[in-house]
Amino acid sequence: AIFDSGNDLGIPLGGDYTPFVPFDPIYGAPGGGGGTINLPPVDPLDAIYNCNCNCAEEDDGTNDLSESFEPKWGQLGTLNNILTEVRKNISQIPNFQNINFENQLNGMRNYFEANRMFTRDNQNNFIDDFTNGSKKIDRYIYTFDLGWIDMHHFFYAAYLAEKYNVVASNSITSYAEILQQLKGNESAFSYEDLQSNSAGIDFYKKYASILRNKNISLETALDSYFTTVNATDPSNSPNYDYIPHIIDGFYAKNISIKGLIGSQLFEAAYEAYCKKPTSRKQSIKEAHIKIKHSSN
């Protein structure tokens, strides 16, 4: 079988293959997953980004830091990438190993509150918009068990649990999403928010005691936790081809602490993608070709 590498979208690359896809944006619903189909070679990106669901040209994209909360192209990391970021932050905090656990968590959540911003140079190439606060930090990690995890949300929930308690952390982070929704904030209930908060609390409950007592390093604890929930390369996420480099109002939402994974994530991401103007779809395609998914 030949499928689009790593994202399980089922876009045919040509030749004989046995289709097995939850939903194909180009060819529609699958016919049952049997038999052999012989198709000519197809460029998966050209197929995915065809104007087949919305051809509007209005563009409400933004580089507003306050709205940049969904997983962003250029900040997607493997577990090793995330651990590298953790080590970088530890090296920047004087005497990190000897400060109290609450301040360690607070330092991590501040570090991962980073957004990579893009602009164009005179040759129309993508460049980091450092004048507007762009930070080349991998912030998001995909896990087969939990879906996408935002490390800022993850560490913020753990920090609140240490500062107050687990119940308070859960209440504060949940209320924050509701308040954003009431205020009309575009980032409210972004599809990775609630499971990231939940994962941070879960991590805290499992590792806080031994971390507080210095019986294990933060890096080792994170490695253990994310290995347990099956962290994987970002390209294995079902919505990989739809992840934007610039945030707009069209993004998948999730109001459950159970993260979107598999076909649910794919379909939610595709629905959000279909609402984007054609110019934004083409910009996403170009960004995926010219910018690495990771900052590292």
Q: Which of 16-30, 125-139, 190-204 has the lowest mean pLDDT?
A: 16-30
What confidence category does residue 26 fall into, taking pLDDT thresholds of 50, 70 and 90? very low
Q: Is pLDDT at 233 greater than 80 in this prediction? A: yes
Let me know: does 110 contact 137? Beta carbons within 8 Å.
no
Residue pointed to by tokens 């669901």:
53
Question: How many whole angstroms separate alpha carbon 15 and alpha carbon 167?
Answer: 54
What confidence category does residue 188 fall into, taking pLDDT thresholds of 50, 70 and 90? low
What confidence category does residue 146 fall into, taking pLDDT thresholds of 50, 70 and 90? very high
Q: Is pLDDT at 190 greater than 50 in this prediction? A: yes
Tell me which residue of 289, 270, 272 sits closest to 126, measured CA to CA.
289
Report CA Rg, the chain: 20
Question: How many whole angstroms separate alpha carbon 281 and alpha carbon 60?
Answer: 13
